[in-house]
Structure 1
Amino acid sequence: MSEKPAGDGVWWWARRRSAVLDVGLAVVSGLECAFGAYGLIQDRLHLGVPAAVVCVVLGALAGASLLVRRRWPVLPVVVALVFVPGFFGVVLLVVSLYTLAATWEWPLRRGRVVGLAALAMVETFGMVWFAMSAPPKTPPAEPLPPTWVYAVTAAFVAVGMAVAPVVSGLYVGARRRLVESLKDRAQGLETELTLLAEQARERAWRARAEERTRIAREMHDVVAHRVSLMVVHAAAVERIVPKDPVKAQQSAKLIGETGRQALDELREILGVLRMTEPREQVEAPVGGLGELPELVEQSRIAGMAVSLTVSGDPAGYAAEAEQTAYRVVQEGLTNAHKHAGGARVAVLLAYVPNGVRVSVVNDCPGADGVALPSGGNGLVGMRERVLALGGAFHSGPEPDGGFRVEAVLPSRLRLAREPLG
């Protein structure tokens, strides 16, 4: 028996109504056993009043054993098996067998349940057979029925008193255990759903954090490069206005165009943020490998001594890969504008067997140039972008005092070429 669950019950009863039911059954069974014992002593054995009183008390106690049927279910069965041969204790036997089958674990205690039920059936069959086949005190007016009638009747009574309660108890017990298992499963599913909800909230938080980081990188890439060009042009205008007004006018025009480009790119990014479509369907338009010459030309117009070298067999790459390569070159040129004013810069785009390699290498910066502030996050963001695609990234000083920014993106990101014909 399992321990009594927490509730409004008392002692071993889970609920008060269960206690009331058992008390009622114990009273009925006690009265039935007491009257049966009194009839056995007075009407059949004729043992006198003292013996009758003792047997009545014992019968009442036997019926009262149903009070513990939920705690010790085998006890009322044993008591019933003792009193059934005396032609009383029917209520006690039926209720105790039902309780035994309903409360005991059938797979674990199958032998005990079957053994006690079989013993009760044999006793009941023998009791009924003996009562029906006993010779009457007076000669009957009609002939007695054949013996097989007694046997069939005794068998039916035995099945009804022993087998029927056991079968009913097994059904009710199995149903009760099924309901408990379903409740446990429901609680387990509820707990699992709670954990899944917490995990979903955590994933959503991480996704928002990653998206904020991605937006911050885009904003940095757009603003840092364009504003660096604008500052360089503004410094050039300041120097050449007295000497060459025409060239200063051209530089001022470039400042305006660069500012408008920066505003357009910022407007495109902010427009994407206002949209409700999934990120896979809408991306902020950025450059690719084919736009590197234009990017290099913008820096050359700003006064940078920059060259672009392309080698290998050109091939198309996935949009995210080309955008990342474009951003790496953009970041390298931005760093050169900030920290290597007047130095020569070499941009390399190489289509190699294991992928595509881009690098930006500047010579040792001179004393002149414009010092621009740096947030220090551009190269970190580039490294994370490249590594997320499975590539390799390197940034650091060169032996001659220059600086190198280089990234290699794997060949698996290369687009398949369409077959000819």
Structure 2
Amino acid sequence: MRTKVAIIGAGPAGLLLGQLLQRQGIDNVIMERRSGDYVLGRIRAGVLEQGTVDLLREAGVDQRLRQEGIVHDGFELALGHRRVRIDLAGLTGGRTVTIYGQTEVTRDLMAARAAAGATTIYEADEVALHDLDTERPRVTFEKDGEHVQLECDYVAGCDGFHGVSRRSIPEDRLKTFERVYPFGWLGMLSETPPVNEELIYSSHARGFALCSLRSRHLSRYYLQVPAGEKVEHWSDERFWTELAARLPEEVAEQLVTGPSIEKSIAPLRSFVVEPMQYGRLFLAGDAAHIVPPTGAKGLNLAASDVHTLYQLMVGIYHNGRTDLVSRYSDTCLRRIWKAERFSWWMTSNLHRFSDQEDFERRLQQAELDYATGSHAGLVTIAENYVGLPLESLT
């Protein structure tokens, strides 16, 4: 087999890159070790920055997004008994975010790829990358008991934190930056109306909570829990009781409870690897960085990487701009570190830490009081939440 760009991973990053390249006539093949049903079954975040929405529009997969997505021009911080609304549109000149689940983004991209007749190989086993520092990289894998070799010009590693792409780069070529937080998020999906039209981030003495949604009839709630907590220890009744205890009284009174559709616990970590390229391999999304979900940046950062990599491939194949290759990593990392900073700030100031002393708690309170009591502070929160501008590679 032969293609121009081999894409490892059929999550939203890999599918979005493949769709954008396909529309520019740049041939690509996607390989995914899981089945399509498994990929669609993953429950992930659903807050899309305007830049991500624009990129999905450019990819031609925004029809359902425009019909079903819920545009939010603000969100709330509940700080004890005090509620502060962050007026995103008013503070950023009209910029907003859109609520549309990652599962739905993936579904739209899969449908578009199938309609275009582009090649996606699911359940590809033993994927391995070869000759990445040469002009003829290769990808090998097993499919239905057969050994397959795919020759390509470039490889896009969009296969997540545990994927093969980053592990294919010699360790001495990478520098890793990481912070692991001593808690996780217990998330519950329920077919109940959201408690509020906009998201509520609650900082409470009992721990952090988030009231989110997937649609007007589907709610997603989160609770901060200690690292190592087991999801089976949390009945629906216990979850609802604890959630209500962490919300302002007037919000808790509006909470509509019901049976859970799904419950899971996600650990929280900050992670960045530098550089994001090796030879003709380019990392994108979770393969190169992880952010705590507090800032709603995970999927959006992956989309910004894809935006940069897409510009790079168009520059190479349409304009012969191979000089752009060396700019990929630095361009991505500038935006990534700013998103890491915002996610770290939201996580550090809205959560309770078990080893936190009174002095540190007072600093946390002072930080939130200043940020929410200052116009400059509110603007900083808003412009980071809606997403910083996507950088041009050229």
Shorter-chain-normalised TM-score: which range? under 0.3
Length-normalised TM-score, structure 2? 0.21
Length-normalised TM-score, structure 1? 0.20
Mark the structure with the bigger radius of gyration: 1
Higher strand share: 2
Higher RCO, 1 vs 2 (CA within 8 Å, ≥6 residues apart): 2
Higher helix share: 1
